[in-house]
């Protein structure tokens, strides 16, 4: 079966189980199919290296299952606050601790997107950042938010796409970067690896939209 069954558009796989990332793909109007990947996430020396390494691992896992010629997208996001890297909380007590750290302060979201065509020797890795400024969060607000269940399974015990947005004062950067699939980084990375079958609007992305928050680099893909 052709990996491009959708009216000449590439068949895209999203190597993620995140509903926030699915929603962003749908907002962009990119047809895709979910691809389950089971990858151990690591903590590297810096937040940027952490998300880049984890996104790359998820991409490689997805490429092993994708149809040749299909595009695979993988991503990873962490929050850094007070010099500490906040991943997903292990339990509610850790979620409370994370939210106490965020209260009245700021955190930097790091999101990496890794994309490649299955069977190609090179892909693209794009990393984007955003700063989130939080309201003061008294204990009753933190307990309420934890009781919703939303903090679990989210980096820093915080999900901006839903109720978590009410905890914030402002965001310096893109909302989608904090959500977990930064649109600017994704579009920039796709434009680097797309061929003639990809929509022209995503093959000819003006460099001016990339700005200073996105870093792009080539990503070698082992073919064995």
What residues are annotated to the active site?
A: 76
SS3 189: helix
Is residue 191 within 8 Å of 183, Cβ to Cβ? no
Q: Which tokens go with 103?
A: 């209260």
Q: At what angle do helices 183-193 and 19-28 cross, to 10 degrees?
A: 60
- CB contact at 8 A, 50 and 78: yes
Q: Which residue has the tokens 């022209």?
A: 200
Instruction: Answer for the pair 110, 157: CB distance below 8 angstroms, yes or no.
Output: no
Report in angstroms the alpha-carbon separations of 73 from 57, 90, 108, 198.
11, 26, 23, 14
Mutual orientation of helices 139-147 and 92-102 as an angle, nearest 10°? 140
């Amino acid at each position: 079966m052709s990996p491009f069954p959708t009216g000449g558009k590439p068949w895209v796989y999203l190597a993620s189980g995140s509903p926030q990332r699915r929603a962003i793909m749908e907002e962009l109007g990119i047809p895709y199919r979910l691809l389950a990947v089971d990858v151990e996430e690591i903590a590297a020396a810096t937040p940027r290296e952490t998300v880049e390494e984890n996104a790359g691992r998820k991409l490689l896992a997805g490429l092993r299952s994708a149809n040749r010629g299909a595009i695979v997208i993988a991503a990873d996001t962490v929050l850094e606050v007070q010099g500490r890297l906040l991943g997903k909380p292990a339990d509610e007590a850790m979620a409370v601790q994370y939210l106490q750290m965020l209260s009245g302060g700021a955190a930097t979201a790091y999101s990496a997107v890794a994309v490649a065509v299955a069977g190609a020797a090179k892909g693209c890795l794009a990393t984007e950042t955003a700063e989130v400024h939080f309201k003061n969060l008294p204990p009753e607000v933190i307990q309420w938010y934890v009781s919703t269940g939303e903090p679990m399974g989210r980096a820093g015990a915080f999900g901006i796409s839903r109720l978590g947005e009410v905890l914030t004062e402002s965001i310096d950067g893109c909302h989608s970067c904090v959500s977990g699939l930064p649109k600017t980084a994704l579009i920039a990375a796709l434009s680097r690896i797309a061929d003639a079958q990809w929509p022209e609007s995503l093959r000819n992305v003006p460099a001016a939209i990339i700005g200073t928050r996105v870093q792009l680099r080539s990503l070698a893909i082992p073919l064995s």
